[in-house]
Amino acid sequence: MKDLKKIERLSRLIRYYILVSTTRAGSGHPTSSLSAVELMSTLFFAGFFKFHLQEADHINNDRLIFSKGHASPLLYSLWAAAGSVTESQLLTLRDFDSDLEGHPTPRFKYAEAATGSLGQGLSIGLGMALSAKYIDKLPYRTYVLLGDSEMAEGSQWEAMQIASYYKLGNLVAILDVNRLGQRGETMLGRDTDVYEERVNAFGWKTIKVDGHNIEEINSAYNVASRDNDRPIMIIADTVKGKGISFIEDIDGWHGKALSEEQKDTALAELGEIDKGLIGEIASPDDIKRTEYKPGSVDISDSGSPEPGELISTRKAYGRALVNIFNDFPDIVVLDAEVSNSTYSKIFKDSFPERFFEMFIAEQNMVGTALGLALRGKIPFVSTFAAFFSRAFDQIRMSQYSKTNIKFSGSHCGVSIGPDGGSQMGLEDIAIFRTLIDCTVFYPCDAVSTEALVRLSASFKGNVYIRTTRMDTPVIYDGQELFKKGGSKVLKQSSSDIITVCAAGITLHEALKAYAELLKENINIKIIDTYSIKPIDKETIIDASLKTKAIITVEDHYPEGGLGEAVCSITNIACPVYLLAVRKMPKSGKPGQLLDYESISKEAIIKKVREISKD
């Protein structure tokens, strides 16, 4: 028999912890935390949430995501009530040296992911639920606490439609409808009926509850904990600031801590607190993860391509995923309904059980990939390079979870041709270069593509692989080795006057320019800067000492691209000239557009001649 009275007492203790920690910090979100106390204390301590306290990474643990990340004082207080965090630790909330940050990050060992940018937690939870149901075959459930304000985010509904599409009955969302957002009432206020109608329309089962009635909440979790064929959302009518009369349901208290005097008044209202009370969390059954062995797949054209063979790097990307899967069986591939263009379809055709169609919903795709990565998978995520910009917030947030996502952006640059500017990825290198510890690779041929895909799978960390639409000739032997932070000097002599650094499509333009200039007895050094981040500083500095100038050539805007990566190197001993996309792109043939943007063979030749005359 569950002791619901004990949960009431634990809820009072949790409210105490929320108040003292936020007042000590002088900031935080106590009212947003107070509204969800009963929802979370019942989940934790009524036997529904199953977790090995001493093994936060145990594969059978249920997962909990606070998408409503500003309610972090509640998260920390829950674990304090479970005996895993001391009150003295709680009182370090938001301190510089504390793991209890203003919004949760994995520095706190019980935080699954970094949250706080609203509208992302449900996608992360979706990825974890996918991993449990379809990959590991484990019975754990994923719970996601949502705020009502973030239901205005389109990414929430992207996640909801995919969760119902994949019939994720192991995913439970808890919606805290406390009516008030940051600056006033939310879009729907307390209209839980409308929330229910909309959520049902997306294929979810819904249960409405009084979010402060422990018996109702307990009954809802009983239903949610059964085997279900679709995801469940518990829609809870709550009161912001619940339990403290002078802040309950009152606008203007969002993100404000109580003063010492106000805190003392609030604690007097709470009544007796039992600091010795410890809530018990149920332990999960120990079930082994299903071991997966990919087996071998015969692809008729999967052999190492020959020098001179024409093949696009996007196609080489798809082939590479298949070729490396036996060595990296934790790989999972996601695509935004363009797998026939990114060529992840090659992997899908070979290993359909490890491919997840995410449809045209890039924000959710990236959040889902984060959830998969946090459960030990190696997600390769592909779409057109341009469309990753739509998901930049999710990409940005993933770095705070120290995650392991491999992004592949195809159709980069003006060289895609007649589709026009809307399809051209021209900002993508800049986007990924801004991220902490994110590696950026830009292969020029099929051999380097496969090598860099394999390399990307071999180390932990976010990686961006930029692929090209058009076919390009293979220039490397199949045994060529590539490394993070490396480059390849393809052409050099003792009489080189200028160095040209290029990558991807423009490398082939540089090689054509080299051949033409050689006829004029003008020698230039050609460097394939396939690793844009980290850049090969040593090789480029050496080139700057031996030639009078460096020209960078890229099918990308100058801001944040290859040219600026080269310019960021200190101790370069010569001028650096940037050839990049500077005009408004438009439709046309690839060659026309490369000429139009002055990043073609002819533009390189012209620039070399100009510099050599100085």
* 166-176 pLDDT, tens digit each: 999 999 999 99
- Alpha carbon 500 to its chain centroid, in Å, reads 34
Q: Would the pLDDT of 553 be above 50?
A: yes
* Domain ranges across the chain: 4-270, 310-473, 488-613
Confidence category of residue 397, pLDDT binned at 50, 70, 90: very high
As a whole number of angstroms, the distance between CA 77 and CA 33 comes to 10
Please tell me the total number of residues recorded for the chain in this structure.
614
Q: Determine the 3-state secondary structure of 267 from DSSP.
A: helix
CA distance 233 to 146: 10
Rounded mean pLDDT, 459-474: 98
Domain covering 488-613 in this structure, CATH number: 3.40.50.920
pTM: 0.97
Q: Is 280 known to be catalytic?
A: no
Architecture in CATH of 310-473: 3-Layer(aba) Sandwich (3.40)
Q: What are the DSSP E strand ranges found in 211-255?
A: 232-237
pLDDT digits (tens, 9 = 90+) for 301-346: 556 899 999 999 999 999 999 999 999 999 999 999 999 999 999 9
SS3 378: strand
Measured between alpha carbons, how far is 495 from 336 in angstroms, rounded to an integer?
A: 49
Tokens of 368: 């889902």
8 A C-beta contact, residue 553 and residue 504: no
Instruction: Give the residue-averaged pLDDT of 471-481.
Output: 97
Give 333's strand partners: 355, 380
b/e map of 342-365 (b: 16 or more CB within 10 Å)? Answer: bbbbbbbebbeebbbbbeebbbbb
Active-site residue, selected from the candidate residues 101, 153, 362, 427: 362
Give the angle subtended at the CA of 262 by the CAs of 258 and 264, to the nearest 5°: 115
Q: Rounded to whole angstroms, how far apart are CA atoms 510 and 507?
A: 5
Question: Does residue 360 surpass a pLDDT of 70?
Answer: yes
Q: Is there a common fold for 4-270 and 310-473?
A: yes
- Between the CA atoms of 78, 84, 86 and 92, what dihedral angle is there, to the nearest 10 degrees? -70
CATH topology of domain 4-270: Rossmann fold (3.40.50)
Predicted local confidence at residue 300, as pLDDT: 47
Residue 298's pLDDT band, with cuts at 50, 70 and 90, is low
The pLDDT assigned to 299 comes to 56
